[in-house]
Structure 1
Amino acid sequence: MSDQQNKHALEVKILERSYVVGCPEDKQEDLLKSAKYLDKKMREIRESGKVIGTERIAIMAALNIAYEMLNQNESQAQADSNDQLNRINDKLSAALAALRQDDGKINAA
Structure 2
Amino acid sequence: MKGAAPINIRILDKEYVVSCSTEEHEDLIASARILDERMRHARDVAKIYGAERIAVMSALNIVHEFLQALRAQENKSASTTQSITRVIERIDSALGENQPFPIESEKSSDP
Q: TM-score, normalised by structure 2?
A: 0.83
Query: 1:62 matched to which residue of 2?
Result: 59
Give the distance between the partners of 1:49 and 1:72, measured in 2 at CA: 23
- Matched AA of 1:57: I
2:17 to 2, 7, 20: 20
Aligned length: 97
| 3-state SS of paired residue (2:96) | helix
Query: 2:71 matched to which residue of 1?
Result: 74
The structure number with the bigger radius of gyration is: 1
Could you tell me which runs of 5 or more consecutive residues in structure 2 were left unpaired when the two chains were aligned: 98-111
Could you tell me which runs of 5 or more consecutive residues in structure 1 were left unpaired when the two chains were aligned: 101-109
Moved over 2 A (4+): none
1:97 to 91, 94, 97: 94
- Matched AA of 2:15: S
Q: CA RMSD in A?
A: 1.3
Q: Aligned residues: percent identity?
A: 32
Give the distance between the partners of 1:42 and 1:89, measured in 2 at CA: 46
Q: TM-score, normalised by structure 1?
A: 0.84
